[in-house]
Chain A
Amino acid sequence: MIRRLVLIALICILIPCAAMAEGAKFGIVLPLSGPYAAMAQDMKNGAMLATDQVNQAGGVLGGQAELIVKDSQLKADIALRRVKEMVEEEHLTVIGGNLSGAISLVINEYACKNNLLYMSYCYNSLPVGKEFCGKGFTSAVIPYQNPDALATYAFKNLGKTWMSLSADYRGFHDMMASWMYNSDQLGGEFKGNIYHPLGTRDFSTYIPRILAESPDILVLNNYGADQIAAIKQFSQLGLTKKMKIVISKTHLHIAKECGKAYDANIYGGATYYWNMKAAGEENKKFVEAFTAKFGAPPSGDAEAAYVGTKAVWQAIAKNGAADNVDALIDALTSMTVQTPKGSEQFRACDHARQQSILVLRGRGDQSKDWDVFEVVQEVPWEETLQSCENNKNNLPYGNVPIPTK
C-alpha cells in the first residue's frame, strides 16, 4: 500500500499533475463598466453560456472548462494589465474578449509577442495588413464588411447622395474608408462628413449642416449611448422623415432603448439577429437557452462571444491540450463550428470568421418586445470579406482617403 502511494507521488512529481487532464482555462477581458457595459455584459453572457454548455456535455480535457472574466473599463492600459495578470498569474495561453477595435489591436500585439492565442469578440482589423501576426482571431467581422453590405443595398435602394456623422475613433475611420470606396464604385455622391467626439449627448447642433446638404442617406458611424442619442434626437427633430439613416453597426439593445424612434426609415448593419428566419435549429436552441438563462434574447455581440468561446473550447478539445498555441491555431482553422447561423469556419490565411452580414431595418412602433428589427437582406460572407491576398495588403480600403478632421 505504502509503495503504491509513493509510486503515485513520484508520478505526480515527474509528470506535472496539471497536465493530467484537469480541464482548461480561457481568460477574457470585457468593458463591464463604462459606456459599453450593457453590451459587454451581453458578451459575457454569450461566453458563459458556451462554457456552461461545454461543461454540461462533460467538460474539456477530462475536467471543467473554466472561463475567467476581467473588467477592462474600456481602457487599453487596464485591458492589457488584466491580460498580463491572467497570463503571469494563471499561466493562461488562450485569451480573448474586448469590445473595442483599438483595444483589441493592443491585446493582439501582446498576444503576438508572447505566443498566446487571442480570440477577439469585436469588430477589428486583426486579419488585415501588418496587424495580422497569426495569433489573433476575430469572431465578429472586419469593420469594412458591414458598410460594404450596407452601401450596396443603400445606393441601390435608398438614394445616391449621402453624408456621414462619425465618432472620432479608429474602428469608425475604417468603416468610413469602406463607405468612401463603395460610394466611388457604386455611383454614390458624397456630401461631407462630420466627426463628433465619443460621448456626445446633444446632436441637435449638427442638424443645420445636415439639413443644408439634404442628402438621401445619412450614415451613422458610432455606437452605444452616442448612437441612441443621435437616433432619438434625429427622429424627434424630423430628420428621419427627410432622409434615410443607415447605421454601420447597430445593436439589439440600441433599437430596444430607442423605442419607436428606431423606425422603418432607419437601417443598420449587424452580424446576427436573434429572430433571423434563415437560421435553423441551432439558432433556435441558442436563443431559447440564452433567453431562459438571461431573460432576454442574445444580441450580435452575445452571439460573437458565444461562437468565439465555443470555438476555443472545441479547438482545445480537438487538440487535446491548451498549452500548445500553434497546434491550437491549426485546430481552430481546420475545423467547422456549428454556430447559430449555421456551419462556419475561421479562414486559415487570416483567421477571419466566414460569416454573413445582415441589413436590418427598424420596426418602430410595430416592435413587439425584443422583436425590433426586420431582416431586409442577408449578404453572404463571400460578398463582403476580401480575399486573403487583399487583406494581407490592406486592399482596397487601406489606400482610400477618408475625410480629414
Chain B
Amino acid sequence: MHILLGLALGAIYILLAAGLTIVYGLLDVVNFAHGVFYMLGAYAVFLVISLTGSFWIGLASAAIITGLIGALAEVFLLRPLYEKHQLYPLLLTFGFSVAVPDLMKVIFGLIGKTVDYPEALSGFILLGTIPFPKYRLFIIVLTAVVMTSLWLFLKKSDLGMVMRAATLNSRMVEALGIDVARIWTVGFSIGVGLAALGGAVAAPMVSASPDMGVEITVESFVVVVLGGLGSLAGAVTGGLIIGQVVSFVSLFAGQYSKVAIFIVMFIVLLVRPRGLFGEAGRH
C-alpha cells in the first residue's frame, strides 16, 4: 500500500520535474515560476469545470491553456533576455513567482477554489487484496502515459529529434535552417504544460489556491537536482525516489517527511555531485 501511495505522490513530482528539466535542458533557464504554472493549471481546471461541468475536459484543457500562456510568456517576456546574462531570465521567473499569485488573489480572492473529484474515480479499487484509491491509481496511470508519450515524442518524432539537437547545440541546428526560436517556444510550452497538468491533477486533493505552487517548486527542484539537471530519466527516477521517501518516512516519523527529501538529496549529491543521471542527460 505504501509503495503504491508513494508512486502516486511521486507521479506528481515526475510531471513537475520533467517540465522543469525540459525547460532547463532546452533554454538553460532555471524556471522559478514553475510552481506558478502548476497553480495556473489548478485554476484552469476549476474554471473549465465551472463552464463545462466535465473534469476530463478541464484536465485536458488545463494543460493546453496553460501551455499557451507559457508560449506567450516565452515569446514576449523571456526571449528578449536570452542574449543577456543568465541572471536576467532567472530574475524574471522569480518575479513571476511573486507577482502572479498576488494577481490571482486579486482576481479569485484569497480563499481557494474547490475542485471535486470526478464521480468515476471516487472510492477504491481492489488490487489483489489491497483496496487502493481509484484517483491515486489514475494519477499513476496518467503520469505513465504522459511520460511514455513524451519519451516517444522526443525519441521518434522529427520535432522531438530537433528539440534534442537544439538542447545539445542550438547554433548548429540554427545553421541547418531550422527556426530554433520556435523550438524554444514549443519546449517551454510543453514544460509548463506538464506543470499545469500536475496542478490540475492535484486540484481535487488540495483545492486551487494562489500560494499552492510555492513549496512544490522547491521540492521539484530537489527532484531535478537529485535526478540530474536536464535529464528526463533523472526526473522520473528522482520523482519515484522522493515519492517513496515521503511515503515511508510518513509511516514511521511523519513530521520528518519534508526534511527527509533534502537529506536524500544531500546524500546523493555527496556521492554524485551531478545527480543520478546528470552526465548522461546533458552534453
| Chain A residues at the B interface, C-beta cutoff of 8 Å | 34-35, 37-38, 41, 168, 194-197, 199-202, 204-209, 225, 228-229, 232-233, 236-238, 253, 256-260, 405
Contacts and interface: CB of A to CB of B under 8 A. Distances in A.
B111 A257 contact: yes
Contacts of B135: 236
A360 B124 CA distance: 29
A197 B204 CA distance: 21
Which among A206, A232, A258, A259 has the highest number of chain B CB atoms within 10 Å? Answer: A232
Nearest to A207: B5
B241 interface: no
Contacts of A236: 117, 122, 133, 135, 204-205
Nearest to A241: B123
Given A37-B211, A236-B117, A197 B258 contact: yes
Contact of B110 (A41, A258, A260): A41
Shortest 8 CB-CB distances between A and B: which pairs? Answer: A38-B110, A195-B255, A205-B250, A259-B114, A168-B255, A197-B258, A196-B254, A229-B206
A308 B111 CA distance: 24
Nearest to B8: A204
B195 to A, nearest CB: 15
Nearest to A233: B205
Contacts of B160: none
B155 interface: no
11 contacts: A34-B211, A194-B250, A197-B254, A197-B258, A202-B246, A204-B9, A204-B133, A228-B112, A229-B206, A232-B204, A253-B111
Given A205-B5, A238-B123, A197 B255 contact: yes
Contacts of A258: 114, 207
Contacts of A34: 211
B182 interface: no
Interface string B108-125: 011111101100001110
A37 B123 contact: no
Contacts of A37: 105, 110, 211
A195 to B, nearest CB: 4
Contacts of A35: 211
Contact of A200 (B8, B116, B253, B257): B257
A41 B211 CA distance: 15
Contacts of A256: 111
Nearest to A193: B254
A238 B257 contact: no
Interface in B178-228: 202, 204-207, 209, 211-212, 215-216
B206 A204 contact: no
Contacts of A237: 124, 133
B34 interface: no
Interface in B80-135: 105, 109-114, 116-117, 122-124, 133, 135
A97 to B, nearest CB: 17
Contacts of B251: 205, 208-209
A226 to B, nearest CB: 10
B1 interface: yes
Contact of B206 (A207, A209, A228, A253): A228
A74 B11 CA distance: 31
A175 to B, nearest CB: 16
Contacts of B253: 195, 405
Given A208-B5, A229-B206, 12 more contacts: A38-B112, A197-B257, A201-B216, A202-B205, A204-B9, A205-B6, A228-B206, A232-B206, A232-B207, A233-B205, A238-B124, A259-B116
Contacts of A253: 111
Contact of A405 (B212, B255, B258): B255
A206 B247 CA distance: 8
B198 to A, nearest CB: 11
Contacts of B254: 194-197, 206
B31 to A, nearest CB: 20
B2 interface: yes
A352 B54 CA distance: 50
Contacts of B215: 199, 201
A228 B207 contact: yes
A346 to B, nearest CB: 30
A236 B1 CA distance: 17
Contacts of A229: 205-207
B114 A257 contact: yes
A232 B112 CA distance: 13
Nearest to B246: A205
B111 A38 contact: yes
Nearest to B117: A236
Given A208-B251, A228-B112, A236-B117, A201 B206 contact: yes
Contacts of B110: 37-38, 41
Given A35-B211, A202-B9, A204-B5, A196 B250 contact: yes
B261 to A, nearest CB: 11
Nearest to A34: B211
Contacts of B2: 205, 208
